[in-house]
Amino acid sequence: MHALVFFFFFSLGSGTNNNIIVSKDGSSGNYTTVGEAIANAPDLNPELYTIHVLAGIYEEYILIPPHKINIKLLGDGPNHTIILAHQNGSTIDIRGEGFMAQNMGFVNSAGLDASAAVAVRNEANNSVFFQCSIQGFQDTLWAVSGRQFYKNCDIYGTVDFIYGNAAAVFQDCMVYARYRQYVTFTAQSREDPYENTGFTFQRCNFSMSPEDEDRKSEVYATLGRPWRAYSTVAILQSYIDSMVDPKGWEEMPGQPTDKVTYVEFQNVGPGSNTYGRVDWPGVTLLTHPNQALPFTASYLLDADSWIPSRGVPYDNGL
């Protein structure tokens, strides 16, 4: 049995400021750039500080420093409010805990030839992305550290495009491979067996991006590879499309494969058959719900202690 938890408290306290507006054309708002609005947000604010970013394409590199905590970027939809960057580096770099983004698009258009096209670099503990689009190519989402929750998001990329050592749970997300001959969805980098980190994908969809669907047969994809020795990824109750090779997972040069934890549970789709999976000790098909519980939001994120205050629906179990 799983519990779908809904909360409708959109602040951390009654004093939340919801009147800050960013308008690209300057006609109706407090600021014309997102960076300016963040720079003028209060430091170490104990309450959620909402910045409403009106529809537009904002060509900026955004840094949210550690002293800017509890910042919420609220857009007009992920295809309408877009923060866009074009080069190596991060479109948005989040270091202040308690960050939240809702109805926002984050894009790095550096392209296939770039060594990295990070759209989101996130080391913010207790951070949430809800109904957002995160688009890049290689290294799209760098989930560096801390507890992170992604709900109803679309994430696009090519190589190792969800990577890092956060404890991150993705629920009801579309994980889109862009066209490239070889695609790797994840590169989780847990280094120590005693760390409580890893990536969990629950009710997600691993498929080709809509614009590249007709080239799916040309793509060889794997679900992930270990960036560090104790790399941990769980894929639960998800859809895995046909471009995912039967072996499922692949080696990372210079990293061992005998310490990873790569588990799958109740997945469907043409790529979900596990009979051809690599023969590594930690690659496992789970057969009982109790085996999957340690990878759920309640266990991995201690979700019930902080996600309710964000007003985001989530499953705390299976």
Q: Is 225 within 8 Å of 187 (Cβ atoms)?
A: yes
Tell me the pairing of strands 4-5 and 314-315: antiparallel
What 3 state SS string does the chain have?
CCCEECCCCCCCCCCCEEEEEECCCCCCCCECCHHHHHHCCCCCCCCCEEEEECCEEEECCEEECCCCCCEEEECCCCCCEEEEECCCCEEEEECCCCCEEECCEEEECCCCCCCCCEEEEECCCCEEEECCEEECECECEEECCCEEEEECCEEEECEEEEEECCEEEEECCEEEECCCCEEEEEEECCCCCCCCCEEEEECCEEEECHHHHHHHHHCEEEEECCCCCCCEEEEECCEECCCECCCCECCCCCCCCCCCEEEEECCECCCCCCCCCCCCCCEEECCCHHHHHHHCHHHHHCHHHCHHHHCCCEECCC
How far apart CA 283 and CA 275 sit, in angstroms, is 11
Residue numbers annotated as active site = 139, 160
